[in-house]
Amino acid sequence: MPSTASSIWYVDDPDPAAVLRSHPDPDPEAALALAKQLNPGHDVVPAASGTLKVWAGPDPGSMYIGCFPGVTVVCTVQAARSHPTRLPELLIRPLASEHTYLVSYDVPLGWGAFAHWERGEFRRAFSATRVNIVEDEGLPLVWERPYWAGDHPVRLRPGDFPDPQILPFDPPEFADAANEEWLGFRYRAGACGDALIPDRIEVCGFSLYPAGQAPAPATRETSVTIPASKRWFGWLRGRDRVL
């Protein structure tokens, strides 16, 4: 499962997991329109499609979008912010959705973040490494209690000694728990039964170029080979993190 994620979700349906299960194919035209809306001043070029297992944490210059009925996910480095409350206004509510959720983490760095806006109004945000809370705004939510209570401690390797300031939970796991609470699945949990997992959620890819600098169609290359039965799309990733 992905070791990094930087995703923003726009949700209207009360059961997003059910939507993602019953609609495996995202809308490519809606995804392209949204990619252009979110990247003014850029050429947006369709690139290879894929799944959240691969593209949940895209590289700069790429963006992956999945548009489903009542649920839209945008994977972009712009979501990987040490201060989620500084997410650009353009990304908070581009679709006039009921809820906007940000979920980002980097397992190698031990960093995780999440945030929630309701109808564009800020509700909750958290960002931290294992020893440093970067941002903690809004009222903690009920589902957070077991983490703050120490029920999910950091799993250290044999021989490692915890920092005296270590948090009572691992921030990437905390962020993933927010994703499960809001979206109904975890990025990093193992599959069990019919559980929704990242490699079952398709997204459309886009490459972003400064306006007028996109390569000619004959010279464009993609780094991923997709079966002929699959469509081709493209995407941008840019990361704004100050830890």
**Which residues, 6 or more positions from 191, have their beta carbon under 8 angstroms from its beta carbon?**
197
Beta bridge partners of 103: 7, 114
Cβ–Cβ < 8 Å for 24, 195: no
Longest dimension (CA), the chain: 57
CA distance 16 to 59: 26
| 116, 84 Cβ separation under 8 angstroms | no
- pTM for the whole thing? 0.87
Contact status, residue 206 vs residue 237, Cβ threshold 8 Å = no
Strands of the chain, DSSP E = 4-11, 42-46, 50-51, 62-68, 71-75, 99-106, 111-118, 121-128, 133-138, 202-210
State the amino acid at position 134 in one-letter form. V
In angstroms, the first-to-last Cα distance of the chain is: 24
Tell me the pLDDT of the chain (243 aa) as tens digits: 789 999 999 999 999 999 999 999 999 999 999 999 999 999 999 999 999 999 999 999 999 999 999 999 999 999 999 999 999 999 999 999 999 999 999 999 999 999 999 999 999 999 999 999 999 999 999 999 999 999 999 887 676 667 778 999 999 999 999 999 999 999 987 656 678 999 999 999 999 999 988 998 765 554 444 443 333 333 233 344 444
Residue 215 DSSP label: P
